[in-house]
Amino acid sequence: MARTVWDSTVGKKTVMAVSGLVMLLYLVAHMIGNLKIFFGAGEFNHYAHWLRTVGEPFMHYEWTLWVIRVVLVVAVVAHATSAYQLSRRDIKARPSKYVHKKPRASYATRTMRWGGIILGLFIVWHILDLTTGTVHPGGFETGKPYQNILDTFSTWYGNVIYIVAMLALGLHIRHGFWSAAQTLGAGSRTRDRALKTVANVLALLLTVGFIAVPVGVMTGVVS
């Protein structure tokens, strides 16, 4: 049964939509959490500590965080796998008049694919920067994300990487949210305009909310 669903195009689109929405929920929470940086080091670092103790005493230290990490990894893998397989189908399904030319995927597929690749690379960079500290500029300190963020956005390349990724994120969510709504059957002639507006507003809020952090550091509002 699961195999039949996964093998169908609509099954893969559903997997993409649901995994995308899971990541979107995470991003809304992450963006709101990041804005606490404007309330100072004490409040921000306290929030980061709380993320590790959520659910105590039932959950052990960092258990909830690990549950979230596992859910996100499953979502990323499911999203990327179904995207790859759907784009292969999209190319193969082109009419045969293209037989002498190199087959090309549609415009939306290509921009979503490149956006997805940029975001995938960004996530790897971001974890090595602010979670493990491997590529972090300056002395990375576990448990001190406020200072770590100041270090990252005190370099020109840190600002460039994050801002480019946030713009890619906005575009990706704008189209992705809309597609997910269609796949999950929320679209209709009367609702499509509203859905487009929701997709635009959501993409804009996330992009602006995330970019506020590097801009805050660059302008000295966060110091």
**Token pair of 25 as six digits:** 């929920």
C-beta closer to ligand HEM: residue 178 or 210: 210
Is residue 50 classed as helix, strand or coil in its secondary structure? helix
Q: How far is the CB of 15 from ligand HEM (least distance, A)?
A: 19
- Site for ligand HEM (CB under 6 A): which residue of 51, 54, 164, 194? 51
Q: Is 46 in the site for ligand HEM (CB under 6 A)?
A: no
* Contact (CB, 8 A) for 171 and 115: yes
Report d(CA 149, CA 215) in Å as an integer.
Answer: 12
- Site for ligand HEM (CB under 6 A): which residue of 116, 170, 214, 216? 214
Q: Which stretch binds ligand HEM (CB under 6 A): 9-17, 92-100, 174-182, 208-216?
A: 208-216
- Which DSSP string corresponds to 6-25? HHSHHHHHHHHHHHHHHHHH
Q: Which of residues 4-43 bind ligand HEM (CB under 6 A)?
A: 27, 30, 34
Total interface residues for ligand HEM by CB under 6 A: 20
Q: How far is the CB of 89 from ligand HEM (least distance, A)?
A: 26
Q: How far is the CB of 72 from ligand HEM (least distance, A)?
A: 6
- What is the gyration radius of the CA atoms in the chain, in angstroms? 20
- Site for ligand HEM (CB under 6 A): which residue of 79, 213, 216, 222? 213
**Token pair of 15 as six digits:** 């997997």
Q: How far is CA 11 from the centre of its chain?
A: 22
**Token pair of 65 as six digits:** 């965080």
* Contact (CB, 8 A) for 24 and 179: no
Q: How far is the CB of 66 from ligand HEM (least distance, A)?
A: 8
Which residue pairs from 89-98 have beta carbons closer than 8 angstroms and sit at least 24 positions apart in sequence? 89/9
Q: Is 199 in the site for ligand HEM (CB under 6 A)?
A: no
Q: How far is the CB of 148 from ligand HEM (least distance, A)?
A: 6
Q: Which stretch binds ligand HEM (CB under 6 A): 88-96, 122-130, 176-184, 195-203?
A: 122-130
